[in-house]
């Protein structure tokens, strides 16, 4: 029998000779394929002495299974055993031996008498083999020349190269090439979502909690359209995503088949780059460019259309090695010296920290700068992340979203230093005036040029990485301020700390009075204060409280990086889905999703995904049986209807939504909060569960 035989291996002896490597002559590769899984044999007498002359492994689950030799002398992938760390490869026998006598790694061989190859558990891949990394065409040390492989294999290689271990999606026919390869991906877990916008939201949460790029795969034009709500949120929140969607075969698109559409044009307004891959050879470089563009400041989503033929066709082009990325230029020295002088001359400067601080990893630098300059701190309005510890004595609280609130928050401030701030018009109601105060002395510092002095003129607009630039600014303050100026900053910090402590005493008094009558429902402010003791310090709070969202920012603690996740876009239905990705990205941290009832009802099927994949998220639904945010905006707008107490089409009643039945339908436990004294214990018990829990709080409905 020869290496290039095409038919089934006929005899037991032939089969075992193949497994033992007898058919491979020195210096050649051979490939076996069993029900879609490539098994690679290598015999190369010219390999370095440090490598065994024979490197070959057959998964133990394939014992005694029929095999077929493919017409190929090339390796479609190099596989290694996932054995105990440090376990050496065994020397391969020099003469044919029965399969059951071949040396194996990682444990005792189990007899397998099945007549067909057993598929791995869904979503887990083949736990016995993993693709070897570091392969290239140069034949250098530690490398093996790559052989032809399909476009879908290149896709997964690109994910592995970027360290992405979760792929979120809702598949269709055009995504079947990826689905066909998924069972054999051991280091990429697919999370099945029952709506495309849920998949995009979960990828957003994953990116927020890990600092990696979130990757999502959608289904042609209608699926992309379904997901654009959260693509918009990612775009506004500067969340790095690689959004992909399957597309019809390239030649078939001319006929405009069912589900076809110009997805590149659909995605372009909400992405940094939108492109359709044209050939399989182009796929690897396109994936690398997509990741690079997504993480380049200002970060954001990109889109790739992946035709079915591109994913199925083979390529010999290797995935290029990754390029190390360093995107953190520090602001110019002259600009930093000017900023330091402006702070020194101000009586009440305020530091506003935006999401750019967290994205750059600048929490510690923000704290050190605020302490050195004696500056009180506010978080930017309607944030995606919290960017300063809320339990720090210099933290004044979140910035309000409307003109009236901003006037109160910055009353008396004679200098505002905005670092990494991009949400400069967070409100939905226009009252005829700009959002930010006319005449407010503002210095802008950040890594997003478009956002610097975008809406209101400032004293300076300085481009620089927030983390590095804040560290450098603190150094300038230490080196150039006089002893008197430093003492003045210390006195200012002491005054702010007293103000902060007075506010905290008021909060504790409210919590102590939590047993009073609730009226038309549990008051949300008191509810949040009541559940705070049940939340471990490292808890991740995902906020889609909508009308109560500002209270979540204000009355819950967010003391460590990553402890708050939200969205700046305002397209509803993001919170519950983001909580899935946030928990998958940081499984070591408790995750609490706080959502309005109307927001959760956009995509209640998100609870099925949590149950199906055993993702332990606590969903706290603030049920006021209405779109309360619209009632509040009705009042702000005025008009004939609200003047008569009418808020048409804003109530979610008749019938009321049965959240207990909803929880049962999706197979998750249900708990209910009707009185404040139940809140802390209920949330603590829910967070202790090993799976998802739906908690309904009957909160106040009045406006």
Give the residue, 438 or 652, on which the prediction is more confident: 652
Do domains 148-327 and 513-698 share one topology? The answer is: yes
Band the pLDDT of 664: cuts 50, 70, 90.
very high
Confidence band for 171, pLDDT divided at 50, 70 and 90? very high
Cβ atoms of residues 273 and 248 within 8 Å: no
What per-residue confidence (pLDDT) applies to 64? 39
Model confidence pLDDT, tens digit, residues 113-158: 232 223 334 444 433 333 333 333 333 322 233 456 899 999 999 9
CATH number for the domain whose boundaries are 148-327: 3.40.50.970
CB burial readout 445-469, b (16+ within 10 A) else e:
bbbbeebbbeeeebebbbbbbbbbb
**Nearest CA-CA partner of 204 in 293, 326, 299:** 299
**Closest to 238 in 3D by CA, of 268, 198, 200, 270:** 270
Range 333-502 has CATH code 3.40.50.1220 = yes
Q: Where are the domains of the chain?
A: 1-146, 148-327, 333-502, 513-698
Strand, helix or coil for residue 374 = coil
The conformation of residue 699, written as its DSSP 8-state character, comes to B
Measured between alpha carbons, how far is 268 from 245 in angstroms, rounded to an integer? Answer: 14
* Highest-scoring range by mean pLDDT, 189-198, 316-325, 421-430: 189-198
Q: Work out the percent of the chain whose per-residue pLDDT is above 90.
A: 66
Which is more confident, 532 or 33?
Answer: 532
By the 8 A CB rule, do 300 and 231 touch?
no
pTM of this prediction exceeds 0.95: no
What DSSP assignment string belongs to 524-581?
HHHHHHHHGGGS-TTPEEEEE-GGGHHHHHHHS---STTSEE--SS--SS-HHHHHHH
Inter-residue contact 135 to 153 (CB < 8 Å) = no
With bands split at pLDDT 50, 70 and 90, how would you rate the model's confidence at 516?
low
Cβ atoms 313, 151 nearer than 8 A: yes
pLDDT at 431: 80
Q: How confident is the model at residue 515, as a pLDDT?
A: 52
Helix axes 363-373, 466-480, angle to 10 degrees: 30
- The C-alpha torsion from 196 through 201 and 205 to 210, rounded to 10°, is 50
Q: Which pLDDT tens digit goes with each residue over 373-410?
A: 999 999 999 999 999 999 999 999 999 988 888 889 99
Q: In the predicted model, what is the mean pLDDT of residues 348-354?
A: 97
Q: What are the pLDDT digits (tens) for 559-571?
A: 999 999 999 998 9
Q: Does 641 or 100 have the greater pLDDT score?
A: 641
Does the pLDDT at position 43 exceed 50?
A: no
**Above 70 in pLDDT, residue 107?**
no
pLDDT band with cut points at 50, 70 and 90 for residue 619: very high
Residue 569 Cα distances to 55, 226, 391, 489, 629, angstroms = 53, 16, 27, 37, 15
Contact predicate 33/70, CB 8 Å? yes
Distance CA(214)–CA(211), nearest Å, equals 9
Half-sphere exposure of 3 (CA within 13 A, CB side): 19
* Range 283-310 average pLDDT: 96
CA distances from 451 to 335, 354, 428 (A): 18, 11, 19
- Whether the ω angle into residue 465 lies within 30 degrees of 0, i.e. cis, is no
pLDDT at 28 over 50: no
d(CA 104, CA 21) in angstroms, rounded, equals 15
- For residue 591, count CB atoms less than 10 angstroms from its CB and return exposed for 0-12, middle for 13-18, buried for 19 or more: buried
- pLDDT for the residue 148: 65
Q: Which residues 6+ apart lie within 8 Å of 495 measured at CB?
A: none
What does the pLDDT look like over 448-499, one tens digit per residue?
999 999 888 899 999 999 999 999 999 999 999 999 999 999 999 999 999 8
**Average pLDDT of span 353-375:** 97
CB atoms within 10 A of CB 283: 28
- Kindly state the average pLDDT of the residues 195-209: 97
Q: What is the architecture, at CATH level 2, of domain 513-698?
A: 3-Layer(aba) Sandwich (3.40)
- pLDDT, tens digit (0-9, with 9 covering 90-100), for 72-98: 323 333 333 333 333 333 333 333 333
- pLDDT reported for residue 552: 96
pLDDT reported for residue 519: 67
């Amino acid at each position: 029998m020869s290496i290039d035989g095409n038919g089934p291996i006929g005899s037991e002896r032939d089969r075992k000779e193949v497994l033992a490597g007898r058919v491979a002559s020195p210096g050649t590769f051979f490939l076996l394929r069993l029900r879609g899984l490539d098994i690679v044999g290598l015999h190369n007498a010219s390999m370095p002495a440090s490598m065994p002359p024979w490197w070959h492994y057959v998964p133990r689950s394939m014992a005694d299974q029929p095999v077929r030799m493919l017409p190929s002398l090339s390796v479609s992938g190099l596989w290694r055993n996932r054995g105990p760390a440090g376990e050496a490869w065994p020397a391969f026998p020099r003469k044919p031996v029965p399969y059951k006598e071949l040396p194996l790694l990682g444990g005792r061989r189990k007899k397998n008498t099945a007549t067909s190859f057993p598929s791995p558990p869904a979503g887990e891949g083949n736990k016995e083999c993993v693709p070897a990394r570091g392969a290239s065409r140069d034949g250098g040390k530690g490398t093996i020349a790559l052989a032809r492989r399909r476009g879908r294999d290149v896709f997964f290689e690109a994910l592995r190269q970027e360290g992405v271990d979760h792929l979120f999606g809702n598949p269709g026919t055009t995504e079947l090439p990826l689905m066909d390869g998924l069972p054999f991906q051991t280091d990429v877990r697919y999370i099945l979502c029952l709506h495309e916008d849920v998949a995009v939201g979960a990828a957003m949460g994953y990116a927020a909690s890990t600092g990696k790029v979130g990757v999502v795969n959608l289904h042609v034009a209608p699926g992309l359209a379904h997901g654009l709500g959260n693509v918009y949120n990612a775009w506004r929140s500067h969340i790095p995503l690689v959004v992909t969607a399957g597309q019809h075969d390239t030649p078939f698109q001319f006929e405009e088949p069912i589900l076809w559409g110009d997805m590149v044009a659909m995605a372009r307004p909400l992405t940094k780059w939108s492109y359709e891959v044209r050939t399989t050879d182009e796929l690897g470089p396109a994936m690398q460019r997509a990741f690079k563009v997504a993480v380049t400041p200002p970060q954001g989503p990109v889109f790739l259309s992946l035709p079915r033929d591109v994913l199925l066709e083979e390529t010999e082009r290797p995935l290029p090695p990754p390029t190390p990325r360093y995107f953190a230029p520090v602001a110019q020295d002259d600009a930093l010296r000017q900023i330091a002088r402006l702070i020194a001359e101000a009586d009440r400067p305020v530091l506003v920290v935006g999401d750019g601080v967290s994205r750059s990893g600048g929490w510690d630098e923000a704290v050190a700068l605020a302490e050195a300059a004696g500056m009180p701190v506010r978080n930017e309005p309607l944030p995606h992340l919290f960017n300063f510890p809320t339990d720090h004595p210099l933290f004044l609280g979140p910035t309000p979203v409307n003109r009236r609130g901003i006037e109160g928050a910055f009353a008396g401030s004679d200098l505002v230093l905005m670092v990494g701030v991009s949400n400069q018009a967070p409100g939905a109601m226009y009252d005829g005036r700009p959002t930010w105060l006319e005449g407010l002395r503002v210095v802008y510092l950040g890594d997003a040029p478009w956002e610097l002095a975008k809406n209101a003129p400032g004293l300076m607009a300085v481009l620089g990485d927030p983390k590095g630039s804040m560290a450098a600014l603190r150094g300038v303050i230490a080196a150039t301020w006089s002893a008197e100026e430093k003492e003045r900053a210390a006195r200012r910090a002491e005054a702010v700390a007293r103000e902060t402590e007075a506010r905290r005493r008021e909060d504790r008094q409210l919590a102590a009075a939590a047993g009073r009558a609730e009226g038309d429902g549990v008051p949300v402010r008191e509810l949040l204060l009541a559940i705070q003791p049940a939340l471990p310090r490292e808890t991740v709070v995902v906020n889609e409280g909508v009308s109560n969202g500002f209270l979540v920012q204000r009355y819950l603690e967010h003391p460590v990086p990553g402890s708050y996740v939200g969205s700046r876009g305002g397209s509803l239905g993001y919170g519950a889905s983001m909580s899935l990705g946030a928990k998958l990205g940081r499984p070591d941290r408790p995750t609490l999703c706080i959502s309005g009832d109307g927001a959760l009802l956009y995509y209640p099927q998100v609870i099925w995904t949590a149950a199906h994949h055993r993702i332990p998220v606590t969903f706290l639904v603030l049920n006021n049986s209405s779109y309360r945010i619209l009632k509040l905006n009705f009042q702000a707008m005025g008009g004939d209807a609200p003047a008569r107490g009418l808020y048409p089409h804003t109530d979610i009643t008749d019938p009321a939504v049965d959240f207990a039945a909803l929880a049962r339908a999706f197979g998750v436990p249900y708990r209910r909060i009707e009185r404040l004294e139940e809140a802390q214990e209920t949330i603590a018990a829910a967070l202790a569960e090993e799976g998802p829990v739906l908690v309904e709080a009957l909160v106040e409905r009045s406006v």
